[in-house]
Structure 1
C-alpha cells in the first residue's frame, strides 16, 4: 500500500482537519498517523467509539518503545486506536518533549508505513522545516501534499519549502489550498505562483474553508456532515488522491540528506 504525507510550511492551515477528512472518506483501509512533533491534536479533539476518551498513552510513544524489537504491520496496528466513526489512528506525542527519545524511529517508521500490506497511511506531519525530526516520514512518502491557505504569507512559505524539498524527495507533489469556496480568485493566484516555479507540482486541490464542517472534526459538529461544503469539496479530492497512490510507482528510497539551512 502507500504512504501519503500531509504537511505545511508555516502556521496552522488545517493539516490535521484535512487528514481527518481524507481518512474518513478514504476508499480503502487507511491509518491516520500523527507524526507532528508539536503534539497530538486528535486525542484532544476526537473520541473513541461510544464517546469515550482516547488513550493518550497508546500511540507513537508506545510504538517507539515497542519498535526496539522490530516494526511491522501488526506492531503498528497494536498501538493504533479507532475513532468514533471507524477511522484508525496512531496518536502522536502528548508534548514536544517526548520527541527527544524517538530519533531512531522516524526512518524505519516511514519505510514501514509505505510498505504496509493492507493499509494506506495518511501521515499528519504538521509544520516542516529544514531540521524537522519527522522529515524521514516525508522522504519515504509516495505522495507529499503541502497544505496552505490563500494568504500571501502562507503561499510565500509554501514556495520556499517546495523549492528546498523538491531536491531531496522522490515522490509526487501536491498542494491543497484551504480557502473559502467563494475565493476562487485567491486560489487561482496560488496556482499562478506554482506555475512560475520550476517545482513540478502536478496535483492541486481546493479544500473548502468551512467552519461548520470542520466542527465535526473538533467534536462540536451539528447537523448533517455530508451536506457541508467541507465534505463536498473533499470527496473528489480523496478519490483522486487515493487513485494516485494506488497506481504502481517506481519509488526510490534514496536516503538524501535534507538541507540544514
Structure 2
C-alpha cells in the first residue's frame, strides 16, 4: 500500500477538509493520519459512530508512547478510531506543546505508513516549512500533494516550497487548488506559474471551494453530501490519486464513499 501526504505552504487553504473528503471517497481501505503539529482539527470537527465524541487521548501521542516497543500495522490501528461514516483516523496532537514528546517518532512513522499492509495512508501534514518536525512524513510519501488557494500570496509560497521539495524527495508531486468552480481563469494562472517552474508537478487538480459541502466535514452539514460541488469535484481527483499510488482497481467508488447511505442523511 502507499502513503500520500497532503500539505500547504501557507495559511489554511483547506488541507484538513481536502484530506477528509478524499479519505471518504478513497476506493479502498485507508487511514487518515493527522500529522499537523499545530493541533488536531478532526477531533474537534467530527464524531465517532452514533454521534459520540472521539477519544482525544487516543491517537498520535498515545502511539508515540506505544512505539517504544516497535511500530507496525497492528500498533498503528490500535491507536486509531473510526469516524461516523466509516473512515479510520489517527488523531493528531491536541496542542503544539505535545509535539515535543514525539521524540524521534516522525521518521519511523513515515516508513511505517508507507509500508502498511492493511491499507493506504493519507497524511494531513498541515502547513510545512524547512524546519517542520513532520517533514519525515513528507519525505516517506509516494505522492505529495500541496494544497493552495488561487490567491497571489498562497501561490507565491507554494512556488517557494515546491522549489525546495523537488531537491529532497523522490515522490510524485501534485497540487490541489481550492477555488470557486467559476474562477477557472484564476486556476489556470496557478497552472501557468507551475509551468514556469522547473519542479516536475505533473498532477494538477481543482477542488471546488464549496461552503455547503465543507460544512459536512465540520459536523454541520445537511441534505445530500454527494450532490455538493465539493464531492463532485473531489470524486475524479480521488480516483486519479488512488490510481497513481496503486495498480489495484475494481472498487465501487460510490459504495466506498457512502456505505449504506450514512452521509446521505446528514
TM-score interval, normalised by the smaller of the two chains: over 0.9
Cα displacement (A) at 1:247: 4.0
Aligned residue in 2 for 1:17 = 17
Partner of 1:104: 104
Following TM superposition, by how much is the alpha carbon of 1:101 offset from its aligned partner in structure 2, in angstroms? 1.5
Kept after mapping to 2: 8 A contact 1:103/1:133: no
List alignment gaps of at least 5 residues for structure 2.
249-266
What is the total number of aligned residue pairs between the two structures?
A: 248
Secondary structure in 1 matching 2:220: coil
- Map residues 55-94 of structure 1 onto 2, 5 A cutoff: 55-94=55-94
The answer to whether 1:225 aligns with 2:229 is no
Aligned-pair CA distance for 1:118? 2.1
**What is the match of residue 3 of structure 1?**
3
CA distance in 1, matches of 2:75, 2:46: 23
Gaps of 5+ in 1: 249-261
Aligned-residue offset at 1:61: 0.1
**What's the counterpart of residue 235 of structure 2?**
235
What is the root-mean-square deviation in Å for CA atoms of aligned residues? 0.8
TM-score (norm 1): 0.94
**Could you give the per-residue CA deviations for residues 118-161 of structure 1, whole angstroms, max 9, x where no partner exists?**
21000000000000000000000000000000000000000000
Matches within 5 A, 1:88-237: 88-237=88-237
Offset of residue 103 of structure 1: 2.8
Q: Distance in 1 between matches of 2:63 and 2:119?
A: 17
Q: Residue 174 of structure 1 aligns to a residue in which SS? A: strand
